[in-house]
């Protein structure tokens, strides 16, 4: 990673240009007809949790966001968002972006349209669902002919942010040519109950031990907002005092 000292050193050595690997270009497509972007939502509405934070999250993970667009909850709108160019912009397929991140609509119901749009375009699903909670409807696909990767995030905010750590972070690191953060192992300060699949639990550190936060449902953000790490709890759970793997948070 070039820093100011590297650039100054290159300059005094007479280098006018340096070959570099740039940050991966990312397009963010936000779905949700019920989402409002300001104020307190009315009944039947939800406040946008992705628009204010996802571009910065991508930057923290090494990506560079070129476009952020909101897409209606219809198959036609999602297909158009991937193939048509808004005024003054290139289409996603022509914008030379390397990663597309979508939010919501990743399930298999008639109300979920991201998969059907990608299937119509001939995308290959490299990872179709994760054995983790929250975030199990997440997928990783790639559009044909060397097109961009597509990271499909669930609509619930904690689920989506958890999958950013498990799917988007290593993908962006690979594209950027940098190593992904390495998980570490710490003792559990208390029992961490297991679930049917691996659980990602926001946790805080006290006296070198891992303690789970509360308010960690897939739609809740309070626990993550006050977390130091995310504990990776296997289905069998972790006894108090036993080692548990933790994922670092890029803003800590």
pLDDT in tens, 174-206: 999 888 889 999 999 999 999 999 999 999 999
pLDDT value at position 197?
96
What CATH number labels 21-176?
Answer: 3.40.980.10
Residue spans of the domains in the chain: they are 21-176, 184-248
Task: Give the Cα separation of 168 and 202 in Å (integer).
Answer: 18
184-248: which CATH topology? Beta-clip (2.40.340)
pLDDT in tens, 25-75: 999 999 877 788 888 888 888 888 999 999 999 999 999 998 898 898 888
184-248 has the same fold as 21-176: no
Q: Residue 123: what are its φ and ψ, rounded to 5°? A: -65, 150
Q: What pLDDT shows up at residue 88? A: 65
């Amino acid at each position: 990673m070039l820093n100011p000292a590297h650039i100054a050193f290159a300059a005094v050595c007479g280098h006018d240009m340096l070959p570099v690997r740039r940050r991966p270009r990312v397009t963010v497509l936000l779905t949700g007809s019920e989402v409002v972007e300001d104020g307190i939502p009315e009944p039947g509405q939800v406040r946008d949790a992705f628009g204010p934070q996802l571009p910065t999250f991508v930057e923290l993970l090494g990506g560079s966001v070129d476009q952020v667009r909101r897409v209606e909850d219809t198959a036609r709108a999602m297909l158009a968002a991937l193939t048509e160019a808004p005024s003054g912009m290139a289409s996603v397929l022509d914008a030379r972006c390397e990663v597309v991140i979508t939010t919501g609509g990743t399930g298999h119901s008639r109300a979920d349209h991201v998969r059907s749009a990608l299937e119509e375009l001939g995308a290959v699903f490299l990872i179709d669902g994760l054995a983790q909670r929250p975030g199990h409807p997440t997928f990783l696909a790639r559009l044909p002919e060397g097109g961009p990767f597509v990271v499909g995030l669930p609509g619930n905010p904690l689920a989506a942010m958890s999958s950013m750590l498990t799917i988007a972070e290593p993908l962006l690191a690979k594209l950027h040519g940098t190593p992904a953060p390495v998980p570490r192992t710490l003792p559990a300060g208390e029992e961490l109950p297991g679930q049917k699949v691996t659980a990602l639990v926001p946790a805080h550190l006290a006296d070198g031990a891992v303690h789970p936060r509360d308010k960690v449902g897939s739609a809740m953000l309070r626990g993550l907002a006050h977390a130091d790490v995310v504990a990776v709890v296997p289905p069998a759970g972790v006894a108090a005092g036993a080692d548990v793997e933790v994922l670092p948070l890029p803003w800590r």
